A and B are shown apart, each in its own frame.
Chain A
């Protein structure tokens, strides 16, 4: 028997340690650096009672474990068992790049790719190191560079095609990066894919290939027929006989095939509603319009299916959701009739598609208002808000509601109400109105702020050329932000967050009294943005693409509320929620996940369903339309477009010394150390059982 690392036997000296510590350093123990004793110094100090050698058995077990451990590290082996020659220059380091994007689900492409990968593994010599990388639009490194073929075969067999897009370039880059630390001089990338063109179209700019790395493409796509898919959805609202309806139209495409006797079926909540004929020429598309429907209240799950089915059925179905009750409810408080809110009401109900539902209320008759019904409150040109209502609004804002305060000539003194002032982003002075003869203009807009980000420079000029004849002087708080100001520095729009809500103050009027903004074309979108931003309103998303990472509140609005509530106290909050994937798997969302990573990855097409506090919700997921286009790009064309660069320029120069990986691969052939370690573990197990028994209760306070 020989030892591969005999110097590790020095470790046997460690057995002296425990004895010496016990016998010599009776008043001390080993020193261990620790980052800070900030929380340790405050502990009740207990002197460490030196343990004597009364537990001889324990000591023997520990010493034996140490001895065996040192022996295991020394890597003993029998000379007759050594059959591992040194690394030769003919050995290779290979990366098998295996495309498992959605397009690989076409027919038996993926099975062919797996078979090809397994065949390649068989063809490689026993000393070649191999790494398998599966890729779609993300790359997955399945293993470290290794020589163990059986493990690699299992990995390849277990791999399943995804529903994601293709990104050839990202995979190629990663493969080169992995090879830069590979042990062998001969380096190859074995690239198995259907070489879908859309996966390469994303590659822009200068792409490089390291010198000395050869790339062998293996194309698994043959002339297998065409593919039907749905690549566009349009929803529009129409009114027939005073009934608001939704018209659905889709665009179906036929890539590499034609269909003459097909049809498109519309299903609403699992029930077949309509059917339209489909006749598409080869490589053409067809717009299909369904009759307008009146979806039931609440969440509606819609599926549009193409028939007949083709070898890639997942993109023959397009799913989306519609929610007909998601209008944002806004309460407008005003004084002295509806005249002041005329333009606001007109703007917010200008179209049937308006996402708002406006309710106006006279401030003097607002006795028992239930603010919980609303997402935002607009206080429009009100002199004074009754104390009870002001308190309710303040509580409403801190609880997550939105508040917009627009001033005007009814603001008699700088005090709208004591409680309300506490959720205002600025302190109002007594109105010292600017002269009407000297209108001022807006000079600064926070263009990247959500309220203004949708406007282009021309729109900015409309804002900036609006004469503002009067404002109520306001002094913004330190923690508030001025979103728009006049040329003399007077703040016009101020924002501040209070608790979980937002408060915005417009220091001029939202009617024609002090400016003519309501007559500008930007008034409507400005008001929309203002209300949406104050109420944290998100546009309805009808469908997502597979592979997308979405905020959890998109999956279920109640998850968003839960997140708000538990923010910062995750450990104390033990509740978990379940999301059911289209395949029926249950995904647990723990409170800690909500706080630390409030996102969810949508991996497969279908409806993801969730229930939070008895509130059911669902989101639709489809495969990306680009994956349905099966046009190929010739692998030679890809390789020709890569620019060869030297290793030095990529910082990937290697040494001739064997790497750690290689040494580990060599050592993995040894087996004696493994049995020794098992023995060590057994000794330690017995030791821990005994010591638990001996010390039980010894350190009890």
Chain B
């Protein structure tokens, strides 16, 4: 028995892949996830509250709180804020390597499901959600919005992502970080096939601007295990470079290097206060939602 995993609770991503509509996937996962939380202390974000701000010339004097004026001898406006809680930016890696799959679901499809679920979930929490897709450049950028219908724009972009180009973290993400003026939660969904130093340098830019971050490292089970049955020529999906190899010889070395890469990123993420979660494409999306929820709680 594992923590929190009852036998039937989580939806197998392979099952989700049979559902054609991305919105339906998101709804299925998120509604199941939320109904599973019950009275969890992590729910219950306030959406309707008032605040005070100082009177500015031109403000409607009917909204001045005269009781506060009586106490402080200053004019304060009673103001009702919108329903937005926080900004959530989903950064989705759509490089060619994300198109890899050894099972029914490619990393790109899994990442799209995850992004859709997170967007849908964030919207349920009345958060503003934005989406950025990138490969070696910034491909699409949808600013964070909270309005109804924005989720459709996000799903539309997710529906037509086409992983073709190579991965580059520094250039697009550094440029993106410059444009983030309001703090929020930055969610990176990627297979992180880039030098660890570049990745960390990019993440640091977001973190140092006060954003809370969570990194979802999406890997295919085959990438984690490297269990190929026989010799072959491996072709890099991004560079089209080929290499001849005998997998049983290469496996140990490959796994060691992958593990070192992951450990470096984990360690650096830990030092930066970034939540890191490794997901393989057979893993239920609920785990990712839990991690996101914890990060969101921290950001509040």
Contact = CB atoms under 8 A, between A and B. Distances in A.
Nearest to B167: A36
Given A34-B235, A43-B254, A699-B249, A547 B38 contact: yes
Interface residues of A, number: 80
Contacts of A34: 100, 234-237
Interface in B133-176: 167
B267 A28 contact: no
Contact of A138 (B35, B76, B250, B263): B35
Name the residue in A137, A141, A457, A478 with the highest tally of chain B Cβ atoms < 10 Å from its Cβ.
A457
Interface string B248-274: 111001100111010100110110010
Contacts of B243: 37, 40-41, 45
A587 B71 CA distance: 58
A29 B232 contact: yes
B290 interface: yes
Interface stretch (A89-97, A205-213, A420-428, A442-450): A442-450
B233 interface: yes
A470 to B, nearest CB: 18
Contact of B53 (A443, A448, A594): A443
A599 interface: yes
B246 A48 contact: yes
A138 B287 contact: no
Contacts of A165: 38
Contacts of A599: 3-4, 290
Contact of A32 (B72, B85, B235, B263): B235
A41 B258 CA distance: 12
Interface in A439-464: 441, 443, 445, 447-450, 453, 456-457, 460-461, 464
B97 A600 contact: no
Nearest to A446: B300
B109 interface: no
A550 B40 contact: yes
Interface in A661-701: 699, 701
A28 B231 CA distance: 9
B38 A37 contact: no
A30 B28 CA distance: 40
A568 B267 contact: yes
Contact of A42 (B2, B210, B257): B257
B32 A138 contact: yes
Contacts of A593: 2-3
B100 A33 contact: yes
B254 A39 contact: yes
A438 interface: no
Interface string A449-487: 110010011001100110100000000001101000001
Interface in A533-563: 544-545, 547-550, 552
Interface string A24-54: 0000111111111111111111111000000
A613 interface: no
Taking chain B's interface residues, is the majority helix, strand, or loop, or is none over half, making it mixed?
A: mixed
A39 B232 contact: no
A137 B40 CA distance: 14
Contacts of A40: 234, 243, 245, 250, 254
B286 to A, nearest CB: 8
A601 interface: yes
A269 interface: no
Interface string A137-166: 111111000000000000000000000010
Contacts of B39: 544-545, 548
Nearest to A36: B193
B277 A596 contact: yes
B124 interface: no
Contacts of A43: 245, 250, 253-254
Nearest to B19: A181
A43 to B, nearest CB: 5
A643 interface: no
A600 B241 contact: no
A465 B78 CA distance: 14
Interface in A549-589: 549-550, 552, 567-569, 571, 585, 587-589
B4 A457 contact: no
A448 B99 CA distance: 40
Interface string A632-644: 0000000000000
B82 to A, nearest CB: 13
For chain B, give the interface size range.
35 or more
A52 to B, nearest CB: 14
Contact of A31 (B71, B242, B246): B242
A567 B300 contact: no
B1 A37 contact: no
A525 interface: no
Contacts of B99: 35
Interface in B209-229: 210, 220, 223, 228
A30 to B, nearest CB: 5
A587 B232 contact: no
A121 B210 CA distance: 59
Contact of B3 (A48, A142, A597): A597
A11 B282 CA distance: 29
Nearest to A600: B3
Contact of B223 (A35, A45, A597): A35
Contacts of B267: 568
Name the residue in B54, B236, B259 with the highest tally of chain A Cβ atoms < 10 Å from its Cβ.
B236
B207 A35 contact: no
Contact of B65 (A29, A31, A461): A461
A651 interface: yes
A596 B46 CA distance: 28
A34 B233 CA distance: 10
Interface in A234-257: none
B193 A38 contact: yes
A421 B175 CA distance: 33
B244 A29 contact: yes
A461 B287 contact: no
Given A48-B231, A138-B9, A549 B4 contact: yes
A170 interface: yes
A603 interface: yes
Contacts of A461: 52, 65, 67-68, 71, 76
Contacts of A549: 4, 36-38, 40
B239 to A, nearest CB: 7
Contacts of B233: 28-32
B276 interface: yes
A31 B193 contact: no
Contact of B266 (A449, A569, A594): A569
Contacts of A388: none
A140 B32 CA distance: 10
B238 interface: yes
A47 B151 CA distance: 51
B51 A457 contact: yes
Nearest to A450: B300
Given A461-B68, A588-B1, A33 B269 contact: no
B145 to A, nearest CB: 19
The 7 closest A-B pairs by CB, nearest first: A35-B100, A465-B72, A35-B97, A39-B257, A568-B270, A140-B8, A36-B193
Interface of B: 1-6, 8-9, 18, 21, 24, 28, 31-32, 35-40, 46, 49-54, 65, 67-68, 71-72, 74, 76, 78, 85-86, 97-100, 107, 167, 191, 193, 207-208, 210, 220, 223, 228, 230-239, 241-246, 248-250, 253-254, 257-259, 261, 263, 266-267, 269-270, 273, 276-278, 287, 290, 294, 300
Given A31-B242, A33-B237, A448-B46, 17 more contacts: A29-B232, A35-B191, A35-B220, A37-B236, A41-B243, A138-B35, A141-B8, A167-B35, A170-B31, A449-B300, A478-B210, A544-B39, A569-B266, A587-B3, A599-B290, A600-B4, A601-B3
18 contacts: A29-B231, A31-B235, A35-B236, A37-B234, A38-B261, A43-B254, A48-B244, A139-B32, A165-B38, A441-B74, A447-B49, A448-B86, A569-B263, A588-B1, A588-B2, A594-B3, A601-B6, A699-B248
